[in-house]
Amino acid sequence: MTTSTTTPVLRTDYQKAVAEYWNRERNPVNLRLGEVDGLYHHHYGIGDYDPRVLETPGEARADAIIEEMHRLETAQADFLLDHLGDITPHDRLLDGGSGRGGTSVMAHARFGCEVDGVTISEAQVDFANDQAVRRGIDDKVRFHFSNMLDSGFDAESMRGIWTNETTMYVDLFELFAEFARLLPHGGRYVCITGCSNDVTGGRSKAVSRIDEHYTCNIHPRSHYFKALAANNLVPINVVDLTSATIPYWELRAKSSVATGIEDPFLTAYRDGSFHYLLIAADKV
């Protein structure tokens, strides 16, 4: 519970490998889309895409697709923020695994409150803080080189916490224990994540392929609810977004920024071995 002051942010070879991946990552699917309006996301989208973008003639087609994908990603982040409950400008929020900062910026814009983002990638911290400075919100929106399993923030200091596709890098029981510490009674946690489906059984080939690609460890759906239950986090809304995210992946597969991981995602979503889920839960 108590940790010595010298505990490093990166404690395992695994964490170092993950950090290195994201420090080096310059993936157009993240950078090109972010350039659309300066919101840099590291997550996927939801909602139907406008099929006309595929008909865009000539060189503009690639950009049209990218803008549409970006729109779907922003819609996903908006949907996540919709579930944070009533947040006032005097509250404080935590973005667990904040990437290049897109969702944090959107949260501040919507609620006017302080937002702290943590990530184990120093490159992402720098990038995101730079974005905050450019937007003139660095007094309210801050990014930290910090492990969300051991964030160092005061107990009960965060009115709301979210993780946007970052829980596959950590142990859920450890993570939710830390979040339960950070949230006051009545605080809200919102999670969007891909999870394997216990109904179809063990991890399918497609899910293992995704794990290998991102050096991540996708959890079964059941683990989320066991870990929440063990940490006094009580669901109030659970939404299966699987069918809502498939169009995004179909569009991405046709885009210029496809990375090759589109096929395993589509296979896994379609064969039922993988779900895209939103969970909103209250700390009690």
The residues that touch its own copies, with contacts defined as CB under 8 A, are 1-4, 7, 11-15, 17-18, 154-157, 169-170, 181, 184-186, 198-205, 208-209, 211-212, 215-217, 221-222, 225-226, 228-230, 232, 234-240, 271-273, 275, 282, 284
Decide whether 38 or 202 has the Cβ nearer to its own copies: 202
For residue 193, the minimal CB distance to its own copies (Å) is 14
Q: Which is nearer to its own copies, 195 or 251 (CB)?
A: 195
Q: Which residue has the tokens 């006309």?
A: 52
- φ/ψ of 129, rounded to 5, equals -65, -35
Q: CB-wise, 35 or 271, nearer to its own copies?
A: 271
| CB 224 to its own copies: min, Å | 8
Name the residue nearer to its own copies (CB basis): 61 or 226.
Answer: 226
Considering the complex, what minimum distance in angstroms separates the CB of residue 162 from its own copies? Answer: 17
Largest CA distance in the chain: 60
Q: Distance of alpha carbon 68 from its chain centroid, rounded?
A: 19
DSSP-assigned states of every residue in 189-255? EEEEEEEE-TTT-S--HHHHHHHHHHT--PPBHHHHHHHHHHTTEEEEEEEE-HHHHHHHHHHHHTS
Helix (H, G, I), strand (E, B) or coil at 52: helix
Distance CA 151, CA 179 (A): 9
Q: How far is the CB of 65 from its own copies (least distance, A)?
A: 29
Please classify residue 67 by burial: count the beta carbons closer than 10 Å to its beta carbon, then call 0-12 exposed, 13-18 middle and 19+ buried.
Answer: middle
CB of 129 to its own copies, least distance (A): 25
Q: Which is nearer to its own copies, 138 or 211 (CB)?
A: 211
